[in-house]
Structure 1
């Protein structure tokens, strides 16, 4: 099992990393040392942590991540939660900038999560979250686990306010939203929970407009949209209420969705795989690209890195679509593809991006 390096939040909230009294690099001021080491590519961060305790503390500090983000040195990796034909779940990671791009299996998940269904999968800051879920022999749970890359382990985290299964999970304004879904008999299906990392706790809310059975969700224009069949509702944080979404927009939302530069893209998998986009000004859905059935293996999920949309299907077969010119010129380009894992035919449950 390969242990992959990843970033996590630290308890140190200072702007600069706190390390031992000894210098990070002997003979250099610590700010110069930070400037040098922060330019080391993310794939080598695990090596840096092996040099000394001071270097390990530096790489795991909030100051390290803040510096890389401030100076645009952070790198985005893609994480995919998958389920195999035996019902076992696993998590894979992809470095999209690598010259030899391939999906790699992460460390094993906690045993109690191995066959749980309907879990939420989310990223906040430098942590991966697995939330809620249920199984054949258990009702919906409120359990939450996070992946700490510094320790290369999953640990239990603050539980949800409400037990949930098959629910929407999104991040807005640096908080996690767990919305709707199925719960225990005592759970209110027309509710949502919010997680505030500053106080490490969840808060429960209710709204009759929330539908319990949710098929997809996105964050767009500072609002959360959730879809169930042919209807959708939208959450506006300015007034804390849910309202019915634009019917014209909902009419074309017929598959997994992703937002790039404020534009909503949807992969219609009803007949082949066709990428469409919602044109706000024209208030209509427009075709973007029909993808080759030789490359895509539905059912697929979408995730975006910069101007590229990654279409990830069974066995983690991946097609990369560049949409940087679609707004002005109506053109897109299938930039590349990543073959499926030879030994896998897993279904992809969810995909998220994490930048360090």
Structure 2
């Protein structure tokens, strides 16, 4: 019997045969969607009917979401705290530990020259905020240092893009595609970018596309160029360059209008002096617009200190950002800017970090909550902290249990529901 004969989707999940013997279809379906994400691959091995159900073009995922049984994942690209004894897991989340010699065997065929001494290995860590658990995704290749992490929710995929080759420390064009959908849980190499780059702006725009712009090349020159990747077609298309080269810039989606925002960054000759403006790409006009006076901290990189949040107001057109600052920095609680044509609007709200002095920090948003990983020493170092929804500036930060192997400061992140 084919998959289509075994079940169909009409508002809910249905099947012609019993999913679970003796139980009505609706009750059996509710039982299966309650199974945690990490065990879904095991469910598929029970029967052909279950395999068809779980692999049904994201229908199983949608049913989990409809019933409120989906899980919120925060994917973090971070240095391995113990590279000689890393923790690895499958994409499904089954945790295992591999010895140093096993790790070396799995990657020996890729090593063209000795690795630079002291260079950390990077991994993809996943914090399951729903179940309060951690695991590390096993990828059968060393992922680039400082690669960008971006999620495509509708496609159920997380991408790792660009960064530095861990052997040569040169920018790369690499693209890794990890399938987090019930149908997949696999990884593959995507088509490389047309240009090698690192420390660039990157964001998912729409259901299948990822935009990249700026960063620097192998000579540490700030880049103007930009391109867009279609994950379903596995192809890159070059778009017009920005007006300025921008290294260490940060990217966001202008969700309502499918625009792509590149925030701040600096030029080749002004390294470390962060620009106050942003550039927004309009796919309709195929052009860039400059928005002035967005980033108001010339001494701070926006990377790890800004996070896009969903704006619930129906008439809002633009991008709302959280700006994370330490408790002693003087700044406005909120500011709003528009471009000259008043088509694009950027709203920035400050979130006070739970520290009294400036330390290393990486901040993000997850399911409408503010999240921060604190580093650089001090009482809060090596832990993740989270604000509950709605507390913001007046609320209290709570600690997230963070195993030591997941305590290093991330470089990039993406969040996705499964």
Relative to the length of structure 1, the TM-score reads 0.76
* C-alpha spacing 1:258/1:344, structure 2 compared with 1 (3 Å): closer
CA distance in 1 between counterparts of 2:336 and 2:70 reads 31
* C-alpha spacing 1:166/1:32, structure 2 compared with 1 (3 Å): same
Relative to the length of structure 2, the TM-score reads 0.66
Q: Which has the larger radius of gyration?
A: 2
Query: Structure 1 residue 51 and structure 2 residue 79: aligned?
Result: no
- Secondary structure of the corresponding residue to residue 64 of structure 1: helix
- Secondary structure of the corresponding residue to residue 56 of structure 1: helix
Unaligned runs of 5+ in 1: 1-13
Which of 244, 250, 253 aligns to 1:216? It is 250
Query: Structure 1 residue 317 and structure 2 residue 393: aligned?
Result: no
Per-residue Cα deviation, 1:262-301 (whole angstroms, up to 9, x for no partner): 33211125x76899753439999765435135xx994222
Asked if the contact 2:79/2:123 (under 8 Å) is kept, the reply is yes
* C-alpha spacing 1:289/1:235, structure 2 compared with 1 (3 Å): same
Quote how far apart the aligned CAs of 1:153 are.
Answer: 4.5
Matched residue, 2:261:
225
- Secondary structure of the corresponding residue to residue 243 of structure 2: coil
- How does 1:156-171 map onto structure 2 within 5 Å? 156-171=189-204
- Secondary structure of the corresponding residue to residue 49 of structure 2: helix
Quote how far apart the aligned CAs of 1:133 are.
Answer: 2.3
Count of residue correspondences: 329
Matched residue, 2:309:
260
Per-residue Cα deviation, 1:111-166 (whole angstroms, up to 9, x for no partner): 342xx323221111311211122235264332211223466553212332333322
Quote how far apart the aligned CAs of 1:355 are.
Answer: 0.6
Asked if the contact 1:302/1:310 (under 8 Å) is kept, the reply is yes
Quote how far apart the aligned CAs of 1:172 are.
Answer: 1.1
Matched residue, 1:5:
none
CA distance in 2 between counterparts of 1:321 and 1:264 reads 16
Asked if the contact 2:179/2:186 (under 8 Å) is kept, the reply is yes
- Secondary structure of the corresponding residue to residue 118 of structure 1: coil
Query: Structure 1 residue 131 and structure 2 residue 161: aligned?
Result: yes
Matched residue, 1:348:
410
CA distance in 2 between counterparts of 1:281 and 1:128 reads 31
Matched residue, 2:288:
242
Query: Structure 1 residue 108 and structure 2 residue 138: aligned?
Result: yes
Which of 174, 193, 205 aligns to 2:227? It is 193
* C-alpha spacing 1:179/1:302, structure 2 compared with 1 (3 Å): same
Matched residue, 2:92:
none
- Secondary structure of the corresponding residue to residue 211 of structure 2: strand
Matched residue, 1:182:
216
Asked if the contact 2:239/2:286 (under 8 Å) is kept, the reply is no
Which of 175, 178, 203 aligns to 1:147? It is 178
Matched residue, 2:355:
292
- Secondary structure of the corresponding residue to residue 65 of structure 1: helix
Asked if the contact 2:127/2:135 (under 8 Å) is kept, the reply is no
Higher mean displacement: 228-237 or 284-293: 284-293
* C-alpha spacing 1:94/1:180, structure 2 compared with 1 (3 Å): same
Asked if the contact 1:297/1:317 (under 8 Å) is kept, the reply is no
Asked if the contact 1:34/1:64 (under 8 Å) is kept, the reply is no
CA distance in 2 between counterparts of 1:319 and 1:105 reads 18
Unaligned runs of 5+ in 2: 1-7, 82-118, 266-273, 312-319, 339-345, 376-380
CA root-mean-square deviation: 3.8
Asked if the contact 2:164/2:171 (under 8 Å) is kept, the reply is yes
* C-alpha spacing 1:162/1:277, structure 2 compared with 1 (3 Å): farther
- Secondary structure of the corresponding residue to residue 106 of structure 1: strand
CA distance in 1 between counterparts of 2:331 and 2:61 reads 34
Asked if the contact 2:13/2:60 (under 8 Å) is kept, the reply is no
Asked if the contact 1:275/1:290 (under 8 Å) is kept, the reply is no
- Secondary structure of the corresponding residue to residue 67 of structure 1: helix
Higher mean displacement: 334-343 or 276-285: 276-285
Matched residue, 1:80:
76
Matched residue, 2:334:
278
* C-alpha spacing 1:307/1:18, structure 2 compared with 1 (3 Å): closer
